[in-house]
Structure 1
Amino acid sequence: MTSARHSIGAEPTATTLMARLERIPHSRWHVKVRLIIGVVTFFEAFDQLLVAYTLPSIRQEWALGTGQMTLAVTAGSVGMLVGALVSGWSADTLGRVRTIRIALLLTVVASIGLFLSPSFGVFVLLRFVQGLGIGGEVPVAAAYIGELARAHGRGRFVLLYELVFPAGTLFAALLATWMVPSLGWRSVYLVGAIPVVMLILIRRNVPESPRWLAARGRYAEADVELVRIEQAVERSTRSPLPAPAAAAVTVSEAPAGTSERLRELVLGRYRGRLVLVCGLWFTAFFVNYGLTSWLPTIYTGTYGVPLGTALQLSLLATAAGFCGCVLAALGVDRIGRRAVLFTGMLLASAALVLLAVLGATDVGQVALLTTVAALFSFAANITLYLYSPELFPTRSRALGTSIGAAFNRIGVILGPIVVAAAVVGGSLTTAFAVLGGVAAVGAVLALFGPETRNRQLEEVSP
């Protein structure tokens, strides 16, 4: 097999590098890298959901009021907001892979600390630190995986990776349902330290994004990484790569500084997309976390359901959400990003509004309709991890995605607060009506985005 680098016959440029990347088929090498980063994201999702399933036990141990429980939930969300913003700058400036490693280290250290936390105050502080890592890793990893993929089939490729996130939340729900009643709430936080071993695997097996290196003007380094990828794929497929097609898209050769990238996003040609992404992230995760964060507590506190049963009922919504994510992954390259987002948010809205109209009168009614809402809202949520990075150029992809993810965190903070206020006021129907209304707004927003299905990233966002 000959090195694909020499098939170009010229010094690398951003345009020729991207042409080479676009001709690489998805292979076992891609699966390996996706698996390594996927394990990291799996445990980030695992860590993120644990507070919902440990909160009833923590409330009893430290005699917490509603305000303190809300603080426990929102501390992690504030950390994720800050982590998302910082990681966006870091990933566009220092690199995708280095930022992922730093974020992973933060979450591992925080998980060990949460296992050992001696007081509620320390627990809240460590939830914030844990949030920094989760908020930093998730959007950057999504951008990185998307940058490894070629245009054809990118949606399926990325969302099959993103399935690890709902799988992580499902695993957290399953494990917590067993471990919390049997071994206590601290035990599940120790599980969150397991991915420390991934730091070594990332360093040895995960290359820096050639798209990012090229966008920074580091063409020689991008060429080295791309040759490694090309050779690995040739070994994996046992056949030489096809010659690069004539470049259909000319890629900008001018790297931009931080201030230029931010100005382009906020004031330049991508400001409309940034507003759209922020709105979609906010509405989707306001609904998602407003719904799921308090379900176990609602079942035990409002309906008097035993803890074990409450966790099992909450698990139904999480499992349905995972099914929705699978459906999104299988359909996003067939019907498009906008269709998945619109349909998911609209049907989630319908289920929540119906629950409000019916009055949320009994446990069965709440369990059924929140499970339906989770099925469709999770499908929309996972699609955002694919769609958002596609809407920004490589030079500012992580920053744009992370700003959107910061609004995700604002939604994650405000959603549970709205539900908590309704719980205290004794009006669950109001909470479900608000969640349904916000989901409807998200459905309308989805109609305004460009369709990116099977289009090269540099074509969508030059």
Structure 2
Amino acid sequence: MNDGADSQDVLPAFWRTFLDAPMHRVQKLSILALTAMCALDGIDLFAITFAAPVIGREMGIGKAAIGLVLAAALAGMAVGSLFLSPLADIYGRRRPLLFSLLLMIGGTLWTAFAGSLLDLIASRLITGLGVGTMAAVINPLAAEYANAKRRDISVAIVNLGLPAGSIVSGILAAWMIPVMGWRALFLVASGLGMLMLAIVLLWLPESIVGIMSRGGPATQTRLNHLLKRCGQPAIAAVEAVRPLTQRRSVRLLLTPAELPTTVAAVAVFFFFTLSLYYIQSWVPSLITSAGHTVSQAALAGTSMSVSGVVGGSVFAFLVPRLGLKRVVIGAVTLTGVVIMLFGMVPTDLPVLVTMSVLVGASTIGGMVNLYAILSRNFPPLARASGIGFVIGVGRFGSAIGPALGGLLFSLGLERGTVSLVMAIPALLAAALLFRIREHDYA
């Protein structure tokens, strides 16, 4: 197919039938499996934050060294998203997904048996590579398993797995670390990774786009096997099946047709993650600096995670009624407003907890549906590359946000002023969303 020419009006008949038909049980279970994998991302990522204080005491390393350990995972995620995700547009979706799981399992096991700071940094870097690659692969898969009607909500549901995984990680850490030590937490995480690896190997199907991206003489056979599993009629021998890619998916992002979408998506994701990670990182510190206890700050943090799952679900279910773009603009704008309000409200604990709940609902509601926009706006043959590129650049925003907030506080600025400044990127992201032209790629 020509660049950008894979819109629904030129799709093969079997693909149009797949998109128009009700979702089969296999498709729904595949979405559920992807949600579990996204939750695994959350468990792997947040386990180290819960274990960090204990690791520091046991190994005798300071906060600066722990900061390097935490940063290693983020760096690995950026590299995985930017440089490994394009493999999914060349070799299909399942192979890079399996590779990402192997990286996560290996990295998490290494963390469990780490004996030095270097071990910790290297293991978290490997884990981050796996997480970054997986995040860029499961979003295209979610869009491609779903039918046209349920695509946006399927992508949003899959991404709700991340905050759900952070909640599970917190529960496991609170139970396991005092009783069995911090290493047990990472052994459990690696065990869950092995379970997901078995599910992908033995059951999870390749998507239509993944099969056609790989091409080869067995393409029609593999497509018919997938269609049969999903209750769809087989492809007739006379129906041509053309491969989607000539192994140049990354360059498609820079063609005149796709470059505006690529630049706009990168800017939106970067600005939004900058504001998001500022407020999510600084909420506990802002609450303790207002005179409340660490336990009370942890309560607010837990409330933020729970409300993120609930709020993300509510925003996702509003999409069919209000439209995807309107919902995302609303959630991103609400994030900017809530961050400003967090700096202005009184420091009473019930007020701060309420604001934390609003922070969780708006930030996660915006993020999970922003992934749906990304899945819709990149063509199938460059979908994983496009999402990976946007996520990879966005990781810089996730690193800059907390650091910039800390710099502003160190300059003597008050909570209200810093929050006002850090709300601006989210509002810029909302404004830029108006400029994104909505595509409807298959």
Aligned match of 2:4: none
Quickly say closer, same or farther: Cα 1:414–1:320, change in 2 above 3 A. Answer: same
Task: Please point out which of 257, 260, 265 is paired with 2:247.
Answer: 257
Matched, 1:367 2:353: yes
Quickly say closer, same or farther: Cα 1:421–1:216, change in 2 above 3 A. Answer: same
- SS of the aligned residue for 1:192 comes to helix
Contact 2:278 2:402 in 1 (8 A): yes
Match runs of 1:213-362 below 5 Å: 213-218=211-216, 221-234=218-231, 255-258=245-248, 261-296=249-284, 299=287, 302=289, 306-358=293-345, 361=347
- CA shift at 1:140, angstroms? 0.7
Quickly say closer, same or farther: Cα 1:433–1:119, change in 2 above 3 A. Answer: farther
Contact 1:139 1:385 in 2 (8 A): no
Contact 2:104 2:193 in 1 (8 A): no
Contact 1:71 1:124 in 2 (8 A): yes
Quickly say closer, same or farther: Cα 1:434–1:77, change in 2 above 3 A. Answer: farther
* CA–CA separation in structure 1 for the residues paired with 2:98 and 2:235: 34
Task: Please point out which of 23, 33, 49 is paired with 1:26.
Answer: 23
* CA–CA separation in structure 2 for the residues paired with 1:420 and 1:262: 36
Matched, 1:415 2:401: yes
Quickly say closer, same or farther: Cα 1:263–1:49, change in 2 above 3 A. Answer: same
Quickly say closer, same or farther: Cα 1:109–1:298, change in 2 above 3 A. Answer: farther
Quickly say closer, same or farther: Cα 1:308–1:175, change in 2 above 3 A. Answer: farther
TM-score for the superposition, normalised by structure 2: 0.87
TM-score for the superposition, normalised by structure 1: 0.83
* CA–CA separation in structure 2 for the residues paired with 1:441 and 1:120: 39
* CA–CA separation in structure 1 for the residues paired with 2:225 and 2:40: 28
What CA deviation, in whole Å up to 9, does each residue of 1:258-283 have, x standing for no partner? 2xx33331242100100111122212
Aligned match of 1:172: 169
Letter of the aligned partner of 2:302 in structure 1?
A: L
Quickly say closer, same or farther: Cα 1:76–1:265, change in 2 above 3 A. Answer: same
Aligned match of 1:37: 34
Contact 2:304 2:356 in 1 (8 A): yes
Contact 2:38 2:158 in 1 (8 A): no
Contact 2:107 2:126 in 1 (8 A): yes
Of stretches 316-325 and 188-197 in structure 1, the one that deviates more from structure 2 is: 188-197
Quickly say closer, same or farther: Cα 1:174–1:157, change in 2 above 3 A. Answer: same
Identity of aligned residues (%): 23
Matched, 1:435 2:425: no
Matched, 1:209 2:197: no
What CA deviation, in whole Å up to 9, does each residue of 1:200-251 have, x standing for no partner? 2212212222223324554x544323322332233xxxxx76999xx9xx99
Quickly say closer, same or farther: Cα 1:426–1:131, change in 2 above 3 A. Answer: farther
Quickly say closer, same or farther: Cα 1:188–1:34, change in 2 above 3 A. Answer: same
* CA–CA separation in structure 1 for the residues paired with 2:74 and 2:421: 20
Letter of the aligned partner of 1:441 in structure 2?
A: L
Aligned match of 2:100: 103
- CA shift at 1:83, angstroms? 0.6
* CA–CA separation in structure 2 for the residues paired with 1:60 and 1:367: 30
Letter of the aligned partner of 2:305 in structure 1?
A: T
- SS of the aligned residue for 1:448 comes to coil
* CA–CA separation in structure 2 for the residues paired with 1:120 and 1:185: 15
* CA–CA separation in structure 2 for the residues paired with 1:45 and 1:383: 17
Contact 2:142 2:155 in 1 (8 A): yes
Matched, 1:388 2:374: yes
What CA deviation, in whole Å up to 9, does each residue of 1:54-74 have, x standing for no partner? 344445555655544443332
* CA–CA separation in structure 1 for the residues paired with 2:25 and 2:395: 34
- CA shift at 1:100, angstroms? 0.6
Question: How many equivalent pairs are there?
Answer: 429
* CA–CA separation in structure 2 for the residues paired with 1:443 and 1:165: 23
Contact 2:244 2:381 in 1 (8 A): no
What CA deviation, in whole Å up to 9, does each residue of 1:4-62 have, x standing for no partner? xxxxxxxxx96234234324420211122223333222111221223333344445555
- SS of the aligned residue for 2:253 comes to helix
Structure 1, unpaired ranges of 5+: 1-12, 235-239
Structure 2, unpaired ranges of 5+: 1-9
Of stretches 161-170 and 64-73 in structure 1, the one that deviates more from structure 2 is: 64-73
Of stretches 57-66 and 377-386 in structure 1, the one that deviates more from structure 2 is: 57-66
* CA–CA separation in structure 1 for the residues paired with 2:322 and 2:169: 31
Letter of the aligned partner of 2:198 in structure 1?
A: I
Task: Please point out which of 33, 43, 46 is paired with 1:46.
Answer: 43
- CA shift at 1:127, angstroms? 1.6
Contact 1:50 1:189 in 2 (8 A): yes
Quickly say closer, same or farther: Cα 1:242–1:264, change in 2 above 3 A. Answer: closer
- CA shift at 1:97, angstroms? 0.6
* CA–CA separation in structure 2 for the residues paired with 1:190 and 1:293: 26
